[in-house]
Structure 1
Amino acid sequence: MTVPVRRLWVAVLCGYLAFGAALQALPSYVPDKFGGGALASGTAVGIAFLATACGRPFAGWLADAGWSRPVVLVGGVLAAVGGLGQLLAPDLVVLLVARLVMGAGEAALFSAALPWVLAGTRIAQRGRVAGWFGLSMWGGLAGGPVVATAVGGFVWWAVVALSMASVALVLTTRHDPGRVEPLVRIRGVRDLVPRGVPLPGATIGLAAYCYGTVAALLVLRLRADGIGVDGIALTVFAATFLIVRFAGSPLVDRYGGRVVAAWTVTVEIVALIGIALASGPVGASISTALAGVGLALIYPACVSLTLDRVRGLRPGVSMGVMTSFWDLGVMVAGPLGGLLAEQAGFGTAFLVAAGAGLACVGVLLRMPRPAGSPR
């Protein structure tokens, strides 16, 4: 059965453009509407990733049984409901609940679509396919801030419209991927966290802390110090991220996930130190561009590491759990980074993120290789 890869790619892109637009809007929206500071803004950014982290394994579990299409549809609907909730929220508590709903939607959207796509992919090409299909998610996260800037005060209506466009695209697909099978009974943690997943998960989770710090605090850091490029910083990050992801994904299949991840995260460490120390627009822009380079290939690299270690068994659950570590890293980075920024300054928050990147490289260097794997 032919997998509607292009339609799924666009559907996930629309959903994550909505998610990315919300990330751009929140650092200003929370203080302006609810009077919160860096901690409140960071929490609003990060809390959605709690729901995403919890939802991904279950979305992958359902996808492994052939239920990808309805799960992806539900994901789009939840994203739209969450966007509307953020628009209409009367207080910060309701806003945070809406963020949780949106996060659950984004989990279902991507974590059910990726196994659907990889089910028809040859093993030798899974790194590049995961990287290129992952551009739908990461491209949305990176391009969403551009959308938010372009639509101005209509950002939340754009979030809802993009989420519903995702639903419409999936509704035009005809079939689920393959035969629907009985769901595997969940009897314990091991059924939701297959062996071989935790170490790649720890790798991407630590890298995610770096991303979460950038997403939650970069604009606030540049604005607080009057550096003057806060309006374009996330766009610069997005541009370098997308270019390197598109051009560099085949490197994962060629050199292996471990090597690619270690080198790119090293670039991320340099970038975060640069952001922490930047005192002018040129240095801040260069460091922000390097931050995009440093995070561009971590996801396809960790997909490759995960599938190597689980030997392709239960790929939906395995990738869902691995990606949940990403969400947890971003979730922690928002409030913790915001607290560090309020108590010790933005520079300290970014240096702590650089420390997380260093720990990520340490995990990669100590990760045992699966038997028979060159990675």
Structure 2
Amino acid sequence: MPAPALPDSSSSKTTLRILSILVFNFANYLTIGLPLAILPGYVHDHLGYSAFWAGLVISLQYFATLLSRPHAGRYADKVGPKRVVMLGLSGCLLSGVFYLLALWFDASPVVSLALLCIGRLLLGAGQSFAGTGSTLWGINVVGSLHIGKVISWSGVVTYGAMAIGAPLGVWVFSMGGLTLLSVCIILVALAAFITAWRKPPVAGTASKQIPFRQVLGKVLPYGIMLALASTGFGVIATFITLFYAAKGWPGAAFSLTFFSVAFVGMRLLLPNSINRFGGLRVALVCFVVEITGLVLVFFAPSSPVAMIGAFITGAGFSLVYPALGVVAVKKLPQENQGSALATYSAFLDLSLGITGPLAGILMAQAGIDSIYLGSALLVLISMALALRLLLRQTSQETSATVSSE
């Protein structure tokens, strides 16, 4: 991790400096959000493939992110985060190029699907490099004393971009089909690439790392809870358009917007809740809220109720990552907390990677409604694990207090 820098006298100035770097992550996730509500239907309805393949096309992005994340971190340490951001944005740009190629070869569904898959793999690698690089770049700019603020704002710009991207992508698609949508993705990535290229670089500093197995052992319980809870986001992001289509309801893209607005809103409204109440307590409340939202989507009799369910799910999921992440990172010494954060984040990538295909199989067997109830049950397991860890933590704190007295 980079050495701490002197803190800014003005919090707003620090925030602006952070956002001047995280704008690249905004562009990164805008290229992710733009096709998110379009591609499942394109694969399922236009190319004629099953829900499994529609889910797989979306999930390939998350697998690529998972596999490339360690390389992004090491490369950022070696050459600095600026080059990593530019490389990531190049992947985002190329994904748009492959979407165009897929459209041109749509007379051959197999070729078109293969080209879409390549585009999703490039986008996943781009997401990893641009996201990791921009976060490290932001930390280098303002200093490691502000690492929590950088990570928090990274989540805000990420889901802010998703909130804008999904309905914007539907509108662009209605205006010019997949051609115009692909061109927009290319232009967004190109503009961000040029802006990043013109900024002065800030070199990263590699730190001594403990063995990966030790890092994994410390982070594993919190990563498992994160992975299970992240299925709520996965089933909404990947299948909400097909869910609405099966019900004959309009407004699927706005359910993604509602989810993202709730996510961002909770982070802005409750910035100090984790420090005040503790990560595990906040995570427990989040799990209860997320389960409520998923169950509401499962039972939704109409489009507005499903949107409310998506909103509640987003509110619950919002603080899960930082709440569990704070606890996980503190399990490692300061010089290894970067590795802890990267390993912990990999569980999110893994969850989103497998949620699509597994949910597609469940949907084919038990109906599309079942995936939301299934996700709620997985989040319930996370809640039980968090409660167990909290009780153990409380017991240890009580024993320490008694011993000191």
TM over 0.5: yes
| 2:403 aligned residue | none
Q: 1:314 to 1:165 in 2, by over 3 A?
A: farther
2:387 counterpart of 1:365: yes
Gaps of 5+ in 2: 7-13, 106-111, 401-405
CA contact (8 A) 1:27 1:42 kept: yes
| 1:201 aligned residue | 223
SS of the residue aligned with 1:313?
helix
CA contact (8 A) 2:22 2:135 kept: no
Structure with larger RCO (C-alpha < 8 A, sep 6+):
1
Deviation at 1:276, TM superposition (A): 0.9
Deviation at 1:62, TM superposition (A): 3.4
Gaps of 5+ in 1: none
Q: Distance in 2 between matches of 1:168 and 1:316?
A: 28
CA contact (8 A) 1:15 1:76 kept: yes
| 1:168 aligned residue | 194
| 1:35 aligned residue | 48
| 1:16 aligned residue | 29
The range that moved more, 255-264 or 308-317, is 308-317
The range that moved more, 249-258 or 62-71, is 62-71
CA contact (8 A) 1:131 1:299 kept: no
Deviation at 1:126, TM superposition (A): 4.3
2:367 counterpart of 1:345: yes
2:203 counterpart of 1:190: no
CA contact (8 A) 2:35 2:169 kept: yes
Q: Distance in 2 between matches of 1:317 and 1:161?
A: 33
The range that moved more, 253-262 or 41-50, is 253-262
Equivalent in 265, 272, 285 of residue 250 of structure 1: 272
Q: 1:139 to 1:278 in 2, by over 3 A?
A: same
SS of the residue aligned with 1:346?
coil
Deviation at 1:66, TM superposition (A): 6.3
Deviation at 1:324, TM superposition (A): 1.4
CA contact (8 A) 2:298 2:372 kept: yes
CA contact (8 A) 1:64 1:115 kept: no
Q: Give deviations 1:324-343, integer Å, cap 9, x for gaps.
A: 11111111111111111121
Q: TM-score, normalised by structure 2?
A: 0.83
Give aligned-pair identity as a percent.
27
Deviation at 1:185, TM superposition (A): 8.3
SS of the residue aligned with 1:175?
coil
Q: TM-score, normalised by structure 1?
A: 0.89
| 2:10 aligned residue | none
Structure 2 counterparts to residues 90-101 of structure 1, below 5 A: 90=105, 91-101=112-122
Q: Distance in 1 between matches of 2:244 and 2:265?
A: 24
| 1:132 aligned residue | 153
Structure 2 counterparts to residues 315-334 of structure 1, below 5 A: 315-334=337-356
Deviation at 1:184, TM superposition (A): 5.9
2:183 counterpart of 1:157: yes
Q: Give deviations 1:262-288, integer Å, cap 9, x for gaps.
A: 211211111111111111233212212
Q: Give deviations 1:311-370, integer Å, cap 9, x for gaps.
A: 333333322221111111111111111111121101211111111111121222233659
